[in-house]
Amino acid sequence: MPSIITEFERLSVRCEIGAAIAALAPRNGTAILESAYGNPRFSRYSILADDPVDEFKWLSHSDGDAIEALHEATSRLFGHQSQEVQERLGDYHGVAEPNGPACGWIGYFAYEAGLGRGDAAPVLHRHSPAKLAHLRFYDTMAVYDRLENRWYAAGIDWPRSSAQSGNRPALRDRLRAQETRLRNIAERSIPLGHESSSAPPADIESNMSHEAYCRHVARIKGHIEAGDVYQVNLTQRFAIRSQLSHTEAYMRLRNISQPAHGALLVHDDYAVLSSSPELFLQLDGRRVITRPIKGTRPRTGNPAVDRIHRDELQTCVKERAELVMIVDLMRNDLGRVCRPGSIRVVEAAAIEEHPTVFHQVATIHGHLAEGRGWADLLRATFPPGSVTGAPKIRAMQIIDELEPTPRDVYCGSIGRIGVDGSLSLNVAIRTMIHRRGVFHCYAGGAIVADGVAEREYEEIMTKASGMFRALGAGPQDPAHARDVEVSIS
């Protein structure tokens, strides 16, 4: 199979990242993957793209395997017969600079995409979102390197055998267009949505009352006592009607949360907004990284109070036990596709400061086995263990029994699959879906044997606070939110 030439070129332009995002955010087809905060080893690049050349939708498990269908779509793009497409996009050998992301698919896999494949097949999946996966293929991207405070342009030079070779501008023209646009944005645009700007007041409606949540916690603890599971991640969905556009909401959200693995995906009838702090999978070459989060405490801005919260999280036996369970689960998942002996827990329980919270995070490295690629890695690990529980399959079954609505994008994964076989996906927490004037916001947390329902509920509200504030719902007490189901499917 012929190589596909990719380029990663430094641009001589200065443009504030917020201005660039504000300019592209209103456009249908825009995909933004933002790394605004956190350790630059894991969250260095922000990607802005808005001119997709293809679209992939996976609507039902009955349609077959999403990953195989994605291979077929890539095959059509590059003009190869489907039987020539191997198990991995990595069979396309790009020659991008080693220090920059390559173009490819950007989008999401919904949580429910993991309910009907492989050893997850016994899961009930009585709920299903409108789309189990939705990705678009981009052959040109603007890339902001926050470590260097510099812009780059990435692009693909289409082979002559591809249908795109005669339909797309030349690679050099596309790269120059990225620079020209950024220069024009820098001259005229003002970033939107700072937290100080006003937002219309909004009401919160929940798919689960406080009383129902407490009952579900009791049922989960019953399952734990019976030996069915060790931990279950219980979540709820909030609906907030708002006059804000998805652009205004995202600009406010990013200024509040400064996401390490944020995202904005704009489609003609809905938008996905994420301020996720959590890295699900990063694959560069054969090196795999995952960074599960378990344990949250609020940041108040008061140094003395924040020191207490940080120390409490660091010494909490319960929170540490939750993380240890998920680390073991992720090591087991990675063990299916990584070289034996290569999986290492680099950090067992680091405390990370985020703009609104403290998190307890583990870092796990592995080395992908020969003959394995991103598709094998995703099959072995999806959905992320930090949002299911342990053991994973039984926890997913209990989740499906208790949660009244599909999780959709939330607890799935948003990110990029590069044409060079690289992979970068977040865990889609702190994530909202905007459709027809309604923002669906989600939050949840792990329930273990000694969990206290009231404390767990408080943690959910801490996690959701940034989204509530972004939508003008912050002053309300979500504990008294109306228990109303809003259908916007």
Give the pLDDT score at 68.
81
Structure tokens at 253: 């959200």
Of residues 176 and 89, the one with the higher pLDDT is 176
Check whether 364 has a pLDDT greater than 70: yes
**Residue 122: pLDDT band with limits 50, 70, 90:** low
Place of tokens 């009401």: 203
- Confirm whether 221 is a catalytic residue: no
Give the pLDDT score at 116.
66
Check whether 135 has a pLDDT greater than 60: yes
Structure tokens at 352: 């990370």
The three-state secondary structure class of 397 is: helix
For residues 283-300, give the mean pLDDT.
89
State the burial class of residue 98 (Cβ atoms within 10 Å of its Cβ: 0-12, 13-18, 19+).
exposed
Beta strands in 172-225 (DSSP E): 204-206
Structure tokens at 110: 């919904």
φ, ψ dihedrals at 264, nearest 5° = -135, 120
Q: Nearest Cα to 435, choosing from 475, 413, 408, 461?
A: 408
Give the pLDDT score at 124.
63
Q: Taking CA 146 as the corner, what is the angle to CA 367 and CA 467, rounded to the nearest 5 degrees?
A: 90
Check whether 289 has a pLDDT greater than 80: yes
Of residues 99 and 110, the one with the higher pLDDT is 110
Place of tokens 């796990």: 364
Give percent above pLDDT 70 in the chain.
Answer: 87
Contact 319, 326 (CB under 8 A): no
Of residues 69 and 383, the one with the higher pLDDT is 383
Give alpha helix (H) positions in 235-279: 246-257
**Residue 51: pLDDT band with limits 50, 70, 90:** very high
Contact 295, 324 (CB under 8 A): no
Give the pLDDT score at 488.
30
H helix count then E strand count, the chain = 10, 22
Highest-pLDDT range among 215-224, 249-258, 441-450: 215-224
Give the pLDDT score at 202.
67
**Residue 66: pLDDT band with limits 50, 70, 90:** confident
Query: Whole-angstrom Cα distance, residue 420 to residue 437?
Result: 38
pLDDT per residue over 166-195, tens digit each? Answer: 789 999 999 999 999 999 999 886 555 554
For residues 110-122, give the mean pLDDT.
74
Check whether 360 has a pLDDT greater than 60: yes
Query: Whole-angstrom Cα distance, residue 91 to residue 31?
Result: 25
Give percent above pLDDT 90 in the chain.
Answer: 57
Catalytic residue among 7, 179, 248, 278: 278
The three-state secondary structure class of 213 is: helix
Place of tokens 């006592």: 225
**Residue 199: pLDDT band with limits 50, 70, 90:** low
pLDDT-wise least confident of 59-73, 353-367, 413-427: 59-73
Check whether 132 has a pLDDT greater than 80: yes
**Residue 200: pLDDT band with limits 50, 70, 90:** low
Report the run of H or E that residue 49 belongs to, with start and end: strand 45-49
pLDDT per residue over 309-356, tens digit each? Answer: 888 888 888 888 889 989 999 999 999 999 999 999 999 988 988 877
CB-based contacts of 147, cutoff 8 Å, min separation 6: 40, 44
Query: Whole-angstrom Cα distance, residue 152 to residue 149?
Result: 10
Average pLDDT of the chain is 85
**Residue 56: pLDDT band with limits 50, 70, 90:** very high
Query: Whole-angstrom Cα distance, residue 469 to residue 466?
Result: 5
pLDDT-wise least confident of 88-92, 125-129, 286-290: 88-92
Give the pLDDT score at 72.
80
Report the run of H or E that residue 358 belongs to, with start and end: strand 357-367
Check whether 480 has a pLDDT greater than 50: no
pLDDT-wise least confident of 188-197, 219-228, 287-296, 398-407: 188-197
**Residue 16: pLDDT band with limits 50, 70, 90:** very high
Q: Nearest Cα to 67, choosing from 28, 116, 29, 103?
A: 116
pLDDT-wise least confident of 60-64, 252-256, 401-405, 466-470: 60-64
Query: Whole-angstrom Cα distance, residue 22 to residue 32?
Result: 11
Query: Whole-angstrom Cα distance, residue 229 to residue 56?
Result: 36
Check whether 433 has a pLDDT greater than 60: yes
Give the pLDDT score at 337.
95
CB-based contacts of 179, cutoff 8 Å, min separation 6: 11, 12, 13, 151, 153
Catalytic residue among 7, 112, 205, 294: 294
Query: Whole-angstrom Cα distance, residue 359 to residue 349?
Result: 9
